[in-house]
Structure 1
Amino acid sequence: MVSNDSRRPLIGLTTYLERTSFGVWETEAAVLHGGYVEAVTRAGGVPLLLPPVGFGHAELASALDGLVLVGGADIEPSRYGQEPHPTTVTRPARDEFEFALLDRALAAGLPVLGVCRGMEVLNVAFGGTLTQHLPDRLGSSEHQPAVATFGLTDVRLAEGSRAAAILGGQTKCRCYHHQAVEELGEGLQAVGWAADGTIEAVEVPGERFVLGVQWHPEQDLDDFRLFAALVGQAGKGKA
């Protein structure tokens, strides 16, 4: 965590562009679950909400100290060579923004944390593929039990991984995903698994902080270690 007299790292948080109701309005809005903002703030970072626009990726990458790719809708399957499953729901404009921003962020050496969809973005960006509907493969919906209902999943983390250094060898997670990594992207390493074998965490081996988790750490504000690790790395400056 960054001390009060230090410059606090600027952490970009991607957002949803959705039809939203607030106050007297119902309109298209760039929105984000408040847990992400609270987690970054508690970790000592300055959260900056990033709407999905089609330009400015280089400028953002140069201004930010770290990036969080947040959860949300499914990735357009054509990006990894598949036709859409009937349950797949996409936001192509958001895909365009996040893949372009991630490319710039990686080139700039920014630390990156991918959450749920964000981990899937990482995997596809590194050339991997996704299972579009886990219940078809598992015969179970335990990773997404019901609409707006998080499942509790025990995740085993690989010894020696960055994820295990942050969280220990085992962690209980709030999951809400019907998709998952199928073929792992080149340059990524699987470092976390559910009991059913579903990959729940990936990272780039070595010193670079590029970490994705399939669960939702922003839903547990008593444990913001992943965000603290990101902010801590961001505070060291760009790689």
Structure 2
Amino acid sequence: MSQSAPVIGLTTYREQAAWGVWDQRADLLPAAYAGAVESVGGVPLLLPPVAAPGAAATVVARLDGLVVSGGADVDPGRYGADAHPRTAGWRPDRDAWELALLDAADAAGLPVLGVCRGMQLMVVHAGGTLDQHTPDLVGHDEHSPGGDAFGTTQVATEPGSRLATLVGDKVTVSCHHHQSVREAPGFRAVARAADGTLEAIEDPTDRFCVAVQWHPETAADVGLLAGLLEAAAAYSAR
């Protein structure tokens, strides 16, 4: 790996976790994220929630790219909604940290990739809204079959989009979400599932700011991560 390899920040969970003889609060992230970044030539850096004022700007100044990772539901109060009965477990510390990171990333023009919850949080950050239980709309649970299993979804991308250049016109993806995006102001809708669920958005300008409802870190196709690394290398060079 080159000494100039782009450094990619990965936001993390903060959860009760057990390993070895320990069972305590821990900052963690599935290793597939770091492995995917490393596989395309990047250096992964885990970013646990930090409450200190100015911390997000300090971190962003040291990054070449940012991945807003998957995880728990976004607090519906962040987009002015009451909680659906199936919306639970949101993490105020993580919401606040990742929103601050997005503020700093926007100010710096940092390349950003949102994954699953990350896409939803990016939409909320932009003033958009979510549908809190997608099965209510589409009549099935294929986007999140339950437990620790991923659903398989066929996605069609928008011709001419940045996303299409990275993953092709059609792609089969792994997903695990019961919520989805209703409105994404400022973003271009660039992929949908057959049932109409919005599966990806991107910044309409030249900046790499892309978000997908699926989990690209789990797939053999690393087109999205490769695209992020290319944008991060160009950002670093500037």
TM-score (norm 1): 0.95
Q: What is the distance in 2 between the residues matched to 1:100 and 1:161?
A: 27
Residue type of the partner of 1:96? A
Displacement, 1:138? 1.5
Equivalent position of 1:40 in the other structure: 37
**C-alpha contact 2:111 2:235 (8 A) present in aligned 1:** no
Equivalent position of 1:231 in the other structure: 229
Q: What is the distance in 2 between the residues matched to 1:53 and 1:83?
A: 26
Q: What is the distance in 2 between the residues matched to 1:146 and 1:210?
A: 30
Q: What is the percent sequence identity of the aligned residues?
A: 51
DSSP-derived class of the 2:18 partner: strand
Q: Which runs of 5+ in 2 are unaligned?
A: none
Among residues 15, 21, 46, which one is paired with 1:24 in the alignment?
A: 21
Equivalent position of 2:81 in the other structure: 82
DSSP-derived class of the 1:37 partner: helix
Residue type of the partner of 2:31? G
Residue type of the partner of 1:180? S
**C-alpha contact 2:8 2:63 (8 A) present in aligned 1:** yes
Task: Give 4+ residue runs of structure 1 displaced > 4 Å after superposition.
Answer: none
Equivalent position of 2:154 in the other structure: 154
Displacement, 1:5? 4.1
Residue type of the partner of 2:222? F
DSSP-derived class of the 2:123 partner: helix
Q: What is the distance in 2 between the residues matched to 1:109 and 1:203?
A: 14
Displacement, 1:87? 1.2
Mapped pair 1:14 → 2:25: no
Q: What is the distance in 2 between the residues matched to 1:86 and 1:187?
A: 29
Q: What is the distance in 1 between the residues matched to 2:2 and 2:132?
A: 46
Residue type of the partner of 2:83? P
RMSD: 1.1
Equivalent position of 2:207 in the other structure: 208
1:38-87: per-residue Cα shift (whole Å, max 9, x none)? 00001111000000111211100101000000000000001111001111
DSSP-derived class of the 1:181 partner: strand
1:1-44: per-residue Cα shift (whole Å, max 9, x none)? xxx44500110000000000111100000000000000000111
Displacement, 1:206? 2.3
Equivalent position of 2:187 in the other structure: 188
DSSP-derived class of the 2:44 partner: strand
Mapped pair 1:199 → 2:210: no
DSSP-derived class of the 1:154 partner: strand
**Aligned counterparts, 1:86-235, within 5 A:** 86-89=85-88, 90-184=90-184, 186-220=185-219, 222-235=220-233
Query: How many residues align structurally?
Result: 234
1:123-173: per-residue Cα shift (whole Å, max 9, x none)? 111111000001111221110011111110000000010100101100000
DSSP-derived class of the 1:237 partner: helix
Q: What is the distance in 2 between the residues matched to 1:19 and 1:219?
A: 23
TM-score (norm 2): 0.96
Q: What is the distance in 1 between the residues matched to 2:160 and 2:205?
A: 10
Residue type of the partner of 2:14? L
